[in-house]
Amino acid sequence: AQHFLARARQHQNLGAFVSIDEDATLAQARAADALIAAGQGGKLAGVPIAHKDIFVTKDFPSTAASKMLEGYQSPFDATVVKKLADAGVVTLGKLNCDEFAMGGANENSAVAPVGFAEPQPVRNPWDTNRVPGGSSGGSAAAVAARLAPAVTGTDTGGSIRQPASFCGITGIKPTYGRASRYGMIAFASSLDQAGPMGRSAEDCALLLSEMCGPDLDRDSTSLDYPAEDFTAKLNDSIEGLRIGIPAEFFGEGLAGDVRVAVDAALKEYEKLGAKLVPVSLPRTELSVPVYYILAPAEASSNLSRFDGVKFGHRAAKYEDLNDMYKKTRAEGFGDEVKRRIMIGAYVLSEGYYDAYYLQAQKIRRMIADDFQAAFKDCDVIAGAAAPTTAWAIGGKADPVSNYLADIFTLPASLAGLPGLSLPAGFGDGGLPVGLQLIGNYFSESRLLNAAHRFQ
Ligand code: GLN
């Protein structure tokens, strides 16, 4: 823990951490040492990790990178945090992200990272003028720069897989409902999932094994499906594995250098005994408008709890209750969050609900059905995790160009399927390229096995 805390300080220019509390970390480390000495350490006893600041933690502030929650102290740990603590991990601190996990570049954080007085975009350790991806950008940067051996992230529409891809690490989003959402500050509840990010599939498997499992009393969408030892099948042969290649993932939008790296990775898979089979996900393009209707709709509802009354920021001066709500929310939320609340409120409003929200729900179902049709012919689906490598900080100023870059991660999110990104190679300028593997429900073990054999 001391080693990683020192590295976190040394590389604080990356902006990866939003809170560090050496005393709290070392207290957890001493407790872990005592348990190990008594022969009672859990599976991950003494392993230092850090959590995305979307998870609430009782030993560290929890902000979701929003001014709205600056200084907020949770009285409890999120289920995922608690489960990892029960397995013996030591918490190094909390990691930067886009505000309320809304973003794909980690340029939307509204809190100052450790060592800074003002909010900063997180920097990609491979090229500090580039973004690390998002929204789990602090998580990905921390692993890539070895500020933590492994971390947690959350993925609503790609926020584990895309930053893993941009930072050359491995990350997995499990099947929706396998990891509890209790204590994960909500963005879009029907999509939000927790997952691990690490240097390898093996490290991710170690963490994910402790993160999953039913939490039926606390999360209404938690699945009554047993936890699993995801390390058990890591070394299985992948001879005969059928890898589905959706034509729609290899179209015009895919950058040439990413395509070259992905094709080379797929060739490696063939050498390992896998077979490539063409499949089709015909509604891939629709996943962008569908997601950017449904996610904001859910966000507008979830974020209504930040009203200045129950917790978080409250405006200092106001005329009456209504004015207090307005000023509190105007001051507390950043631009992207406000944009989504407005889109969400619009698509849910009378007269527009049928045309937007309901229609998007129907297409969401079709996207899920398309995957089931594809999985008749293959075991996993592969493609690039993102159409390009990491772009320059400030390089994608308009929101729509950011949204379009999510095209390859959104389909699995909308279908609730598990997805993994592993380092496939490098594109122009030596920037990492991630290969995404998508599996059918509950096939995390197979995804991790396929990634491990490649690594
Ligand atoms: N980039 C997507 C968005 O901005 C996904 C974010 C996420 O998965 N949390 O909504």
Cα(2) to centroid of ligand 1, in Å? 33
Which ligand 1 atom minimizes the distance to the CA of 101? Answer: 9
Taking the CA atoms of 432, 101, 255 and 278 in sequence, report the sign of the dihedral they define.
positive
Tokens representing residue 147 in the block: 């500020």
Residue 397: the pLDDT is: 86
Cis peptide before 135 (omega within 30 of 0): yes
Cα(49) to centroid of ligand 1, in Å? 23
Q: Torsions phi, psi of 300, nearest 5? A: -65, -35
Which ligand 1 atom minimizes the distance to the CA of 413? Answer: 8
Residue 266: the pLDDT is: 98
AA letter at 262: V
Q: Out of 55, 98, 99, 293, give the residue to mutate to test ligand 1, the one with the largest number of ligand atoms within 8 Å of its CB.
A: 98
Cα(135) to centroid of ligand 1, in Å? 6
List pLDDT tens digits, range 211-256.
999 999 999 999 999 999 999 999 999 999 999 999 999 998 999 9
Nearest in space to 170 (alpha carbons), one of 198, 145, 149: 198
State if residue 65 touches ligand 1 by the CB under 6 angstroms criterion. no
Cα(158) to centroid of ligand 1, in Å? 6
Residue 215: the pLDDT is: 98
Residue 71: the pLDDT is: 86
**Domain ranges (residues) in the chain:** 2-211
Cα(157) to centroid of ligand 1, in Å? 5
Residue 69: the pLDDT is: 98
Q: Out of 338, 388, 406, give the residue to mutate to test ligand 1, the one with the largest number of ligand atoms within 8 Å of its CB.
A: 406
State if residue 137 touches ligand 1 by the CB under 6 angstroms criterion. no
State if residue 157 touches ligand 1 by the CB under 6 angstroms criterion. yes
Which ligand 1 atom minimizes the distance to the CA of 103? Answer: 4
State if residue 192 touches ligand 1 by the CB under 6 angstroms criterion. no
CA 159 – CA 47 distance, rounded (Å): 24
Nearest in space to 45 (alpha carbons), one of 3, 94, 90, 79: 90
**Which of the residues in the chain have pLDDT under 50?**
none
Which ligand 1 atom minimizes the distance to the CA of 291? Answer: 10
Confirm if 380 and 443 have CB atoms less than 8 A apart. Answer: yes
Residue 6: the pLDDT is: 98
**Catalytic residue numbers, as ranges:** 52, 135, 159
List pLDDT tens digits, range 116-135.
999 999 999 999 999 999 99
State if residue 156 touches ligand 1 by the CB under 6 angstroms criterion. yes
Residue 206: the pLDDT is: 98
Beta bridge partners of 245: 278
Q: Out of 53, 135, 290, give the residue to mutate to test ligand 1, the one with the largest number of ligand atoms within 8 Å of its CB.
A: 135
Q: Torsions phi, psi of 170, nearest 5? A: -110, 140
Protein residue with its CA nearest to atom 5 in ligand 1: 157
CATH of domain 2-211: 3.90.1300.10
State if residue 104 touches ligand 1 by the CB under 6 angstroms criterion. yes
